[in-house]
């Protein structure tokens, strides 16, 4: 995870001094996370990489305006989402792409180490169950669990409310319980504990802050 003060310093160096070394460091800090996010939407390594590079190119070209951005991390994720949507619109020759149009791709390996001790069969069951979730719910889950973003950050990035995120997580829990019906109740409880305990903590934390 990034250090907010360090990122703020990099942003300042880029904005005020056109510091290429600081820009390179910012790129290295965020590229993998943004790439995974773009890939989950675009399902293409080539286009995901292009989308993220487009985002950073835009950052560099408009570097003088970085000082006006409240949260650079949120800005980067929002830019990656919008750029990925633009790519999808071009592919489909449609005017606009929304969250409802996105077929988010999820891979169980992204959840390690929490699920590393499950058998390969159960891990496959979990992956299939998560991939059967509605697109918005799956994207919210990925951003919270895989990217480690707070609910408030996800809400800003996806332009939805924190309550809506709570609803998506509740939907995920219910649907996973149904989909994983062939797994013993004890194993389901353990799976849900591993997948959602930390997310619930985030919900309560945000509730205290608001």
Q: Contact at 8 Å (CB) between 172 and 99? A: no
Q: Contact at 8 Å (CB) between 60 and 24? A: no
Low-confidence ranges of the chain (pLDDT < 70): 1-2, 92-117, 197-210
Residue 30 CB partners (closer than 8 Å, separation 6+): 2, 73, 76
The reported pLDDT for the residue numbered 3 is 79
**Cα separations in angstroms, 5 against 72, 73, 118, 175:** 11, 12, 37, 39
CA distance 111 to 62: 35
CA distance 18 to 62: 10
Query: Which of the listed residues 68, 99, 130 is the one where a domain comes to its end?
Result: 99
CATH code: domain of residue 53: 1.10.1740.10
Residue position matching structure tokens 């995120």: 165
Residue 72 has a CB neighbour count (10 Å cut-off) of 19
Q: Where are the beta strands (DSSP E) in the chain?
A: none
- Predicted TM-score (pTM) of the model is 0.74
Range of the domain at 158: 107-209
The reported pLDDT for the residue numbered 32 is 92
Buried b / exposed e along 162-192 (16+ C-beta atoms within 10 A): bebbbebbebbeebbbebbeebeeeebebbe
User: Is 150 found in the same domain as 130?
Assistant: yes
The reported pLDDT for the residue numbered 51 is 96
The reported pLDDT for the residue numbered 175 is 85
Among 193, 102, 195, 98, residue whose Cα is nearest residue 146? 195
Residue 39 tokens read as 């890939």
CA distance 18 to 35: 24
Give the chain's domain count.
Answer: 2
The reported pLDDT for the residue numbered 209 is 38
User: Is 11 found in the same domain as 51?
Assistant: yes
The reported pLDDT for the residue numbered 206 is 37
CATH code: domain of residue 175: 1.10.10.10
User: Is 123 found in the same domain as 90?
Assistant: no
The reported pLDDT for the residue numbered 155 is 92
């Amino acid at each position: 995870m990034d250090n907010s003060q360090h990122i703020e310093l990099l942003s300042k160096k880029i904005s005020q001094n056109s510091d290429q070394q600081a820009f390179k460091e910012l790129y290295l800090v965020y590229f993998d996370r943004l790439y995974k996010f773009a890939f989950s939407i675009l399902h293409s390594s080539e286009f995901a990489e292009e989308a993220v590079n487009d985002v950073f190119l835009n950052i560099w070209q408009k570097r003088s305006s970085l000082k006006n951005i409240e949260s650079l991390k949120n800005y980067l994720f929002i830019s990656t989402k919008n750029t990925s949507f633009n790519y999808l619109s071009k592919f489909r020759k449609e005017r606009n792409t929304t969250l409802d149009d996105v077929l988010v791709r999820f891979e169980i390996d992204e959840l390690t180490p929490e699920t590393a001790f499950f058998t390969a069969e159960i891990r496959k069951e979990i992956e299939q169950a998560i991939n059967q979730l509605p697109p918005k719910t799956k994207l919210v889950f990925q951003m919270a669990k895989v990217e480690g973003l707070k609910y408030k950050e996800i809400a800003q990035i996806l332009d939805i409310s924190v309550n809506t995120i709570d609803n998506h997580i509740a939907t995920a829990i219910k649907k996973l319980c149904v989909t994983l019906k062939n797994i013993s109740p004890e194993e389901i409880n353990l799976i849900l504990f591993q997948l959602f305990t930390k997310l619930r903590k985030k919900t309560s934390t945000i509730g205290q802050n608001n």
